[in-house]
Amino acid sequence: MGRKRILITGAAGFLGSHLCDRFIKEDFHVIAMDNLITGDLRNIEHLFHLENFEFYNHDVSKFVHVPGELDYILHFASPASPIDYLKIPIQTLKVGSLGIHNLLGLAKDKKARILIASTSEVYGDPNVNPQPEEYWGNVNPVGPRGVYDEAKRFQEAITMAYHTFHGLETRIVRIFNTYGPRMRLNDGRVLPAFIGQAIRGEDLTVFGDGSQTRSFCYVDDLIEGIYRLLFSDYAGPVNIGNPDEITIREFGEEIIKLTGTKQKLITKPLPTDDPKQRRPDITKAKEILGWEPKVSRAEGLKITYEYFKSLPQDLIEKIEHKDFSSYNK
């Protein structure tokens, strides 16, 4: 019997590239797809020489054609940092709506099982903490985060509809803040922002009073959770994240300690609709998948700091001025 064939969209991104590595390791034939708006080929270039790896530079918002059979699809294509989806709101909406529609159609045609990347953003600025899957959320559809949050909510809805109406095998993972090697140092997210600032000798910018909370999951733990979910028989949404919750101010202090920087925390205005608290309830993941995170923040941060320090100087210095305007059609 030949290898199982899996399509991974967003394959050159942070999570997509780690998924490529995992499925190569498990001896799958990996078909990687990305349009490289926010992804970076450097994340997967070590796989290009393999006979069981192929790459398509394609925007999944347009019709997706994959020759041959497909057993699995992982839909991870989407801008995912608040800075990115502020810059490319239309593309964000399209990949979460037109893109998922194309991929569900492909899954139906190929009789493939599809797992989609959803997000804790479906809970918006939650009034319930921690957030269980049953919580419906508190989302502002017309705020700056609406383009991401509502696209992901639509994505869950259409995925469930294909499941119930067409009997498609579907899986939905709700991903909470995740970090690790291959995050972009300049994507605006708090962890690379703080570490980048420390490395460059700048002050660390805390937005608002820093009392808002997040719960950070190391990438290897997340990938293990996704892997287990794909091979489970559960079609409802499952939270995957690390419930170890911390305020952003405390987190900044941890980064100062970790990096030994002499710089301090400074305050910047809080972005609109910034969630005040976020922590996954992972009871379902524990029960259904036998999964829970293993890597502590101290361990994960150390590995990630070493990774960022090892980047070439131009990437550390570089502030991104990528022109995204043509994507907002």
Task: Decide if 154 contacts 139 (C-beta within 8 A).
Answer: no
Examine the residue annotation and report whether 148 is marked as an active-site residue of this protein.
yes
Contact range with ligand UDP by CB under 6 A, out of 185-193, 232-240, 254-262, 285-293: 185-193
Determine how many CB atoms are found less than 10 A away from the CB of residue 39. Answer: 26
DSSP assignment, residue 47? G
Give the residue with the Cβ less far from ligand UDP, 211 or 283: 211
Does 107 help bind ligand UDP (rule: CB under 6 A)?
Answer: no
Give the residue with the Cβ less far from ligand UDP, 24 or 173: 173
Please report how close the Cβ of residue 210 comes to ligand UDP at its closest, in angstroms: 6
Does 256 help bind ligand UDP (rule: CB under 6 A)?
Answer: no
Tokens 């959770």 map to which residue? Answer: 225
Q: How many residues bind ligand UDP (CB under 6 A)?
A: 15
Contact range with ligand UDP by CB under 6 A, out of 86-94, 126-134, 199-207, 232-240: 199-207
CA dihedral 122, 128, 130, 133 (to 10 degrees): -50
Give the residue with the Cβ less far from ligand UDP, 267 or 328: 267
Please report how close the Cβ of residue 84 comes to ligand UDP at its closest, in angstroms: 10
Polymer length of the chain:
329
Which amino acid does the sequence have at 325? S
* Residue of the chain from 16, 82, 196, 237 that contacts ligand UDP (CB under 6 A): 82
Beta bridge partners of 213: 247
Give the residue with the Cβ less far from ligand UDP, 162 or 308: 308
The one catalytic residue in 85, 148, 179, 218 is 148
Does 205 help bind ligand UDP (rule: CB under 6 A)?
Answer: yes
- In sequence order, what DSSP letters do the residues of 213-271 get, joined into one string? EEE-EEHHHHHHHHHHHHTSS--SEEEES---EEEHHHHHHHHHHHHT-S--EEEEPPP
Nearest one of 37, 81, 40 to 189, comparing CA atoms: 81
- Catalytic residue annotation: 148
Per CB under 6 A, residues contacting ligand UDP are 81-82, 177, 188-190, 193, 205-207, 212, 214, 248, 271, 274
